[in-house]
Amino acid sequence: MGLKERVEVSSPGKLMLFGEHAVVYDQPCIVTAVNQRLMVTVEAREDGKLVVNAPDVGLEGYTRNLADMGKKEKVPKAVKFVETAVSNYIEAYPGVKGVNISTRSQFSSKFGFGSSSAVTVGVVKGMAEVFGKNISDRELFDLSYKTVLNVQGVGSGFDLAAAIWGGTVYFVTGGKEISPMDIGELPLVVGYTGIKADTSTFVRQVAELREEYTDMVDSIFNLISDVVEEGKVVLEQGSQRKIGELMDINQGLLNSLGVSTPEIENLVFAVRQSGAHGAKLSGAGGGDCMIAYTPAFARRKVEEAIKYAGGVVIDVKTGAEGVRVEP
């Protein structure tokens, strides 16, 4: 693999279909990649520096010496994933003399589409391309997952799998199983609540609930796992009514974990009453987006219902291509 001076890679955002929260506790989930992408441009430098530009989050010309990167200095949040990914890459594959990283997103980081994970995957993949390392998807996942755990401390890594493999993926915590599913685009309507939720906060909140009610919460996780297993079967069969019903059951279980909100429930009930087969929050809860599994004839009505209930319809297609090098 020859060295390239400059490479642009893009990776897709994601939506969780079934299994959030339980997947942090050794259970499976199903995630789909969406056709709004995060672009990362990687360029070699010779002066021992990392320079980051991320205009979407107001960051221009952020500069660090590579030699200082392991040191515990306060790093702006927007650059944490980039810097940690660069640092982990260099630790695994030494010999990098300097690097420019620029990011650009087709989606707002407020939606909960997994921008941090998409950036992380883009940085690692882009560096491998520029510095001539032929890394497998599994190595890309492992380095990216290490980065997410370094920065966030918690997380199953499901969003990295969507960013890398694309399509729709059956995934078990930490990548213990990553199985691409053979299904086409799903008839989802996506509604943004207008509220940006912090994933780690809700993962910790569920952990606290589990400390107090361990057996009960583990039973809820087991039920969520049943929903995921059944969800896998009915998604592959294409049974629309059942997919919707399982989303409703999954939503009820998430509500019982305390991660739903009035804004989410408003949208969920509005779309159910307007002809969706079923609906649930997607991600950690507390805000972000909800998804409605919707027959074609009801799509317009469901979109109107989301707007009327105070949400924003986000136009995305599911099952998008995973990380790729742009021409």
112 lies in the binding site for ligand PMV (CB under 6 A): yes
Cβ-contact 247, 279 below 8 angstroms: yes
Any residues with CB less than 8 A from the CB of 124 and at least 6 apart, and which? 85, 88, 89, 135, 140, 143, 144, 147
Helix axes of 214-237 and 240-256: crossing angle, nearest 10 degrees: 160
* Cα–Cα distance, 37 to 59 (Å, whole number): 19
221 lies in the binding site for ligand PMV (CB under 6 A): no
158 lies in the binding site for ligand PMV (CB under 6 A): yes
Q: Which of 41, 144, 199, 294 binds ligand PMV (CB under 6 A)?
A: 199
* Cα–Cα distance, 267 to 16 (Å, whole number): 17
281 lies in the binding site for ligand PMV (CB under 6 A): no
Active site residue 159: yes
- Token pair listed for 37: 């992408």
191 lies in the binding site for ligand PMV (CB under 6 A): no
Q: Which of 10, 13, 21, 39 binds ligand PMV (CB under 6 A)?
A: 21
Count of residues that interact with ligand PMV, criterion CB under 6 A: 15
284 lies in the binding site for ligand PMV (CB under 6 A): yes
31 lies in the binding site for ligand PMV (CB under 6 A): no
Task: Please identify which of the residues 159, 215, 226, 315 carries the catalytic annotation.
Answer: 159
291 lies in the binding site for ligand PMV (CB under 6 A): no
Question: What count of other Cβ atoms lies within 10 Å of the Cβ of residue 200?
Answer: 13
* Cα–Cα distance, 212 to 129 (Å, whole number): 47
Cβ-contact 13, 107 below 8 angstroms: yes
CB nearer to ligand PMV: pick between 90 and 311: 311
Site string for ligand PMV, 68-107 (x = CB under 6 A): ----------------------------------------
287 lies in the binding site for ligand PMV (CB under 6 A): no
Q: Which of 258, 287, 290, 286 is nearest to 272 (CA)?
A: 290
What residue ranges bind ligand PMV (CB under 6 A)?
16, 20-21, 23-24, 112, 114, 155-156, 158-159, 199, 203, 283-284
Q: Tell me which residues are annotated as active site.
A: 159
